[in-house]
Structure 1
């Protein structure tokens, strides 16, 4: 029997979300309003995350509707009533694995420069981009290869970081689509409430993975709710919070240890590598300057003059 999809509410709403995304990307009518509205979820100052969020939600709604309408496909994908959890489980494992690999890439960058793991990297060429263990743009820089050709110039794609994370960050090209496909297949067979929660969670987790990394607000929110949806499996009860809370507690504790371990209230250290011009430090309380080959190290007192 030939499958003939119908234009249901999910597909219509998905198309609307995609069109709103295009409107925000290429006009200035509603970008500020929608970006501020989604700030608690996405923690984004530009419309880049907002557009990606709307597009992902829109496309996912359409795909989920098509899957659910195709009974023959559902029979192949879901061999029993809990089979969808197997797809979601693999997606969750790949998600956290990719996030930790991103943290290791951040460590590799700093090891290659011979600086502290807690150092924030600021690349000035060709445009200013930053990355750090607490807010990583390693994967975002890979996305910049494709995004630079379609997004407005004021949207920072992190492409300046790419030269320092190649080729390791390219794993996101394999991981990200795999997580998305497995996640969508996993949540398509859920009840309405859990499917809605998982849809939002998967979307913000994928956005957080490429823009912010393991400790970013979107990733933590999305990953936490994906864990909750997985362990609860359509049920409601306090006991289903235990495993998600323990796992999220470990991630948050690790983040706190890195944050505290990298804190120094007495001074700041600025490493300037491959300097091509003079650095204006008049506004800062510089207590020491050290030159090592192509690196200049400035020690700054925490209090300005």
Structure 2
């Protein structure tokens, strides 16, 4: 593997990830940027993103010979989709096992408060985080949420699903060999987002959208991305390299239905993802009040300044149910509850109210 500009840039990204790990000095600069595509960016996400971005760029120069990159990219898209769908299935199985609603946010109050829901799952993250904690222990900083509080709730099926992650990583590396530099960088960027989204958020999370749609964009329209940039930059080397990689639907004429379908399929998929996400969120919303179930309380609970409408103490089920004013922002309520409920219960659930984000 000969050192070139791509490898040097990759090492710089990895070095930057290491700097973020040991200091917060760059947070005010990078956090507003990474927040846009990592959905609630955190120190842990930023470190993993820049580390993966650099690693993918370096590994894209691993082989001297070009592999069947389009075949491996197609496999990567399929594997990514399987992992995202499996994350949702895990959430459904996990909730059926515990007997809790599908339209709720589950908050574990174990070693640290960790939440998960169908709209933003952390179940696969908890498996990965559990492995990291066992391997690295105290090396992991306080700013990194590993999700281990959910670890013992994950269905056995989840431990099999997580094995697909290294397979996906390998197929992504094989799909990026000797590509033109614009699509090579985009593939590294989108792949980093996809891996983060699979572990932290799942199918309906922003990095998952960016990742899976981005891979599909490179697969379907990579030729045109390289061509446009080659023309803008007057880069003959890029244009020549791109001629050797025509689009998979290049045999069709531009006005043919099959050509238009293949060229613009990625945007239809994106719209479908967004519509599905909002349909589920609004269909499962509870607008009259928040239903908060506190399970296995350890003593008297005082919710402080949180406005409670109704309290139903189901002693036979060892559960207390609260109805809380719907004027609260959903995320703020979930975070506010963890203070009075800390060390006071096994877990609690909060019903969805997506409308609260628009008030």
Instruction: Tell me the distance in 1 between the aligned counterparts of 2:164 and 2:300.
Output: 41
Instruction: Tell me the distance in 2 between the aligned counterparts of 1:122 and 1:136.
Output: 11
Equivalent of 2:309, from 286, 291, 299? 286
Which residue of structure 2 lines up, in the alignment, with residue 119 of structure 1?
A: 104
Shift of 1:205: 1.0
RMSD: 2.0
Which residue of structure 1 lines up, in the alignment, with residue 220 of structure 2?
A: 231
Does 2:131 align with 1:146?
yes
Instruction: Tell me the distance in 2 between the aligned counterparts of 1:223 and 1:192.
Output: 20
Indicate if the aligned counterparts of 2:44 and 2:143 stay in contact, CA closer than 8 A.
no
Instruction: Tell me the distance in 2 between the aligned counterparts of 1:61 and 1:189.
Output: 11
Shift of 1:95: 0.6
Partner SS state of residue 224, structure 2: coil
Shift of 1:303: 4.8
Shift of 1:49: 0.7
Does 2:47 align with 1:23?
no
Q: Structure 2 length normalisation: TM-score?
A: 0.75
Which residue of structure 2 lines up, in the alignment, with residue 188 of structure 1?
A: 177
Shift of 1:290: 4.0
Indicate if the aligned counterparts of 1:191 and 1:234 stay in contact, CA closer than 8 A.
no
Equivalent of 1:92, from 77, 86, 89? 77
1:244-295 Cα shifts (integer Å, max 9, x gaps) = 1222233222212210111121111111112223222352222241414122
Equivalent of 2:167, from 178, 194, 211? 178
Partner SS state of residue 214, structure 1: helix
Count of aligned positions: 289
| 1:285 to 1:241, Cα distance in 2 relative to 1, 3 A | farther
Instruction: Tell me the distance in 1 between the aligned counterparts of 2:222 and 2:10.
Output: 25
Indicate if the aligned counterparts of 1:25 and 1:151 stay in contact, CA closer than 8 A.
no
Indicate if the aligned counterparts of 2:289 and 2:324 stay in contact, CA closer than 8 A.
yes
Structure 1: gaps (5+ residues)? none
Which residue of structure 1 lines up, in the alignment, with residue 157 of structure 2?
A: 168
Partner SS state of residue 120, structure 2: coil
Instruction: Tell me the distance in 1 between the aligned counterparts of 2:177 and 2:10.
Output: 15
| 1:104 to 1:125, Cα distance in 2 relative to 1, 3 A | same
Indicate if the aligned counterparts of 1:268 and 1:302 stay in contact, CA closer than 8 A.
yes
Indicate if the aligned counterparts of 1:110 and 1:119 stay in contact, CA closer than 8 A.
no
Which residue of structure 2 lines up, in the alignment, with residue 260 of structure 1?
A: 282
Shift of 1:124: 0.7
| 1:241 to 1:132, Cα distance in 2 relative to 1, 3 A | farther
Which residue of structure 2 lines up, in the alignment, with residue 220 of structure 1?
A: 209
Indicate if the aligned counterparts of 1:208 and 1:218 stay in contact, CA closer than 8 A.
yes
Query: 221-230 vs 39-48, which deviates more?
Result: 39-48
1:189-225 Cα shifts (integer Å, max 9, x gaps) = 4322222222211111111110111010111011111
Partner SS state of residue 312, structure 2: strand
Partner SS state of residue 6, structure 2: helix
Query: 191-200 vs 121-130, which deviates more?
Result: 191-200
Shift of 1:48: 0.5
Equivalent of 1:295, from 319, 328, 332? 319
Shift of 1:233: 4.7
Which residue of structure 2 lines up, in the alignment, with residue 198 of structure 1?
A: 187
Structure 2: gaps (5+ residues)? 226-253, 329-359
Does 2:37 align with 1:57?
no
Partner SS state of residue 299, structure 2: coil
Shift of 1:91: 0.9
Query: 272-281 vs 130-139, which deviates more?
Result: 272-281
1:10-39 Cα shifts (integer Å, max 9, x gaps) = 111111111111111122332342233322
Shift of 1:58: 1.2
Indicate if the aligned counterparts of 1:190 and 1:234 stay in contact, CA closer than 8 A.
no
